[in-house]
A and B are shown apart, each in its own frame.
Chain A
Amino acid sequence: ETGVTQTPRHLVMGMTNKKSLKCEQHLGHNAMYWYKQSAKKPLELMFVYSLEERVENNSVPSRFSPECPNSSHLFLHLHTLQPEDSALYLCASSQRGDYGYTFGSGTRLTVV
């Protein structure tokens, strides 16, 4: 266990479904991140939350909607996804001003 827990580990959803990915960190960090890991591509930074405020949105389509209700929890709400959105979605946390990111194990998402 890394201190960053992601659920579910695997998710299969249809293109018309709505689902959510959950991330929880037990490290007392004040920043949280969503990354997308696709085969043969660099990890893509999607969203950054610092002190529960979204500070970055890297041109992510609106079918991905993040939510950070408090400093320990981060969600990624999914709706009307496309097959090309199938990937491993990684959550990470850090203490702003420090340089250590701690990653969760990821959610393997398959869109059918």
Chain B
Amino acid sequence: AQSVSQHNHHVILSEAASLELGCNYSYGGTVNLFWYVQYPGQHLQLLLKYFSGDPLVKGIKGFEAEFIKSKFSFNLRKPSVQWSDTAEYFCAAMSNTGKLIFGQGTTLQVKP
């Protein structure tokens, strides 16, 4: 069965530190990958997505993610985090049946 796993459950960083959140998926076929963010008390918002082409995907708010097919990974990165990036981050994968499957989520806390 298709699944998504996020290695870091809770990450604490200081402002200006670099961020990398791990995501691995298990699905052998064509897969579309997403990162969503959920700010406190708000709805899930799409940060970025990968369908095909350049494996380095740039999203909103300075985030980017790299698709590495050989590692089944789609890690999220940001060179310098801000206090406003404090949120929960979800990696998700969609199979060709259109189901969107989420990882457990990573809570990011950025200290000012």
Closest to A31 in B: B98
Q: How far, in angstroms, from A105 to B42 measured CA to CA in the complex?
A: 6
Of the four ranges (under 10, 10 to 19, 20 to 34, 35 or more), the interface on chain B belongs to 20 to 34
A-B contact pairs, 20 of them (CB 8 A): A33-B100, A35-B102, A40-B9, A42-B4, A45-B100, A45-B101, A56-B99, A90-B43, A92-B100, A96-B98, A99-B32, A100-B46, A101-B46, A101-B100, A103-B44, A103-B45, A104-B43, A105-B42, A105-B43, A106-B43
Flag whether A2 is at the interface (Cβ < 8 A): yes
Interface residues, chain B, with chain A CB atoms under 8 Å away: 4, 9, 32, 36, 42-46, 49, 51, 90, 94, 98-105
By DSSP majority rule, is chain B's interface helix, strand, loop, or mixed? strand
A96 to B98 CA separation, bound complex (whole angstroms)? 8
Which residue in chain A gives the minimum CB-CB distance to B32? A99
Query: Which chain B residues border A41 with CB–CB below 8 Å?
Result: 104
Inter-chain CA distance A90–B100, complex, in Å, is 13
- Closest Cβ neighbor of B41 among chain A residues: A105
